Amino acid sequence: MSAKIVARSAEKRFQTRAGWMTALHDFDLEVAEGEFLCLVGPSGCGKSTFLRILAGLDHATGGEVRINPGPDPRQPLANVVFQEYAVFPWKTVLHNVAFGLEMRGVGRKEREAAAHRWIDKVALTRFVDYYPAQLSGGMKQRVSIARALANDPQVLLMDEPLGALDAQTRAVLQEELLQLWEESRKTVLYVTHSIDEAVFLGDRVVVMTAHPGTLKTVIDVDLPRPRDLSVMATPEFAALTGAVWDALRDEVRRAMAEQG
């Protein structure tokens, strides 16, 4: 059986005022069905670009990026949990979570029932009829996660979803996210710049090089599942984050030197 997500020699070039810029170069990756894959790399390495291509918000200018088995009228390909709180301020929690289903033409009763199920799962039952302005940052991002999962995509894409949250809220949401994932075992591509987060969540951590972004190394995370935050205190965890950091350090330096 072929992998769920396949990228072969993927390339993305942008035209800017200064000329052509290569964000992604000769990028190869395979993600298995049901795998939780974390993507780390220095800022501007094209990890978000790759995610945007998968989300259909951008196109690869070369090579191939594919989600298998391809478009299906009954199930959307990939939905994104965005970096900022991209929940719609003008919709209640219920209508935000039901948004994807509504766009797909699912009837009101059915989509609201599904939305209620997911709102219960992310513990926002009391806030169904609240608007995002009335919620905290962590709650908004829960809505965003529920919105993506309620749409039941083949692949879940997460673009630094917890980056804007404070450390404690982030830790709580990381655990909740793992619980949700254990239930559904959906294929997840998770972009982050936190090494701890990548090792804690992922089955594998992919380290990317500074631009042009390409695959540097892949680190298998063989920590037992289900995991909780106590795993972060183990020597195995420390060894893994150390390995990721070893791979990443030179790239971060190079990226900083190029920017400076």
Partner 1 sequence: MTPKPGSAGPRWSGERPAADGPAPAAGAPPTGGAAAWAWPLGVLLATFAAGFAFDLWTRGWWALLGVGFVCVVLLAQELETRLALRWRGAFQRALALGFPLSLLLIWELLAGSGILNPRWFPPPSQIAVALWELTVSYDRFNRSSLIGRPWLVPEFFAERGWEGVQALVRESHVWATLSRVLGGFLIGAFPGVLVGMVMGLNRTVRMMLDATMSAIYVLPKIAIFPILMLVFPNPFGEGPKIAVVAISAFFLVAISTMAGVQGIDKVYLEAGRNFGASRWQMFRHVILPGALPIVFSGLRLALGTALIVIVAVEFVRADRGVGFLIYYYWQVLVTPRMYAALVVVMALGVGLTALLQWVERRVMPWRRG
Return the exposure string of 129-143: e unless at least 16 CB atoms fall within 10 Å of the residue's CB, then b. eebbeebebbbbbbb
Tokens 């995991």 -> residue: 227
Show the binding pattern over residues 59-78: x = contacts partner 1 (CB under 8 A), - = does not. Answer: -----------------x-x
- Quote the CA–CA distance of 236 and 221 in Å, as a whole number: 9
Listed in sequence order, the residues at least 6 apart from 30 whose beta carbon sits closer than 8 Å to its beta carbon are 3, 5, 6, 7
| Identified binder of partner 1 from the candidate list 82, 128, 171, 217, rule CB under 8 A | 82
Q: Does residue number 80 form part of the binding site for partner 1 (CB under 8 A)? A: yes
How many residues bind to partner 1 according to rule CB under 8 A?
Answer: 27
In this structure, are residues 118 and 81 in contact, taking their beta carbons and an 8 Å threshold? no
Q: Does residue number 86 form part of the binding site for partner 1 (CB under 8 A)? A: yes
Of residues 175, 247, 176, the one with CA closest to residue 209? 247
- Which parts of 176-235 interact with partner 1 (CB under 8 A)? none
| Identified binder of partner 1 from the candidate list 42, 46, 100, 138, rule CB under 8 A | 100
Amino acid residing at 35:
E
Q: Does residue number 88 form part of the binding site for partner 1 (CB under 8 A)? A: yes
Nearest-approach distance from CB 210 to partner 1, in angstroms: 25
Q: Does residue number 55 form part of the binding site for partner 1 (CB under 8 A)? A: yes
Q: Does residue number 56 form part of the binding site for partner 1 (CB under 8 A)? A: yes
Residues that bind partner 1 (CB under 8 A): 55-57, 76, 78-80, 82-84, 86, 88-92, 99-100, 102-104, 131-134, 147, 151
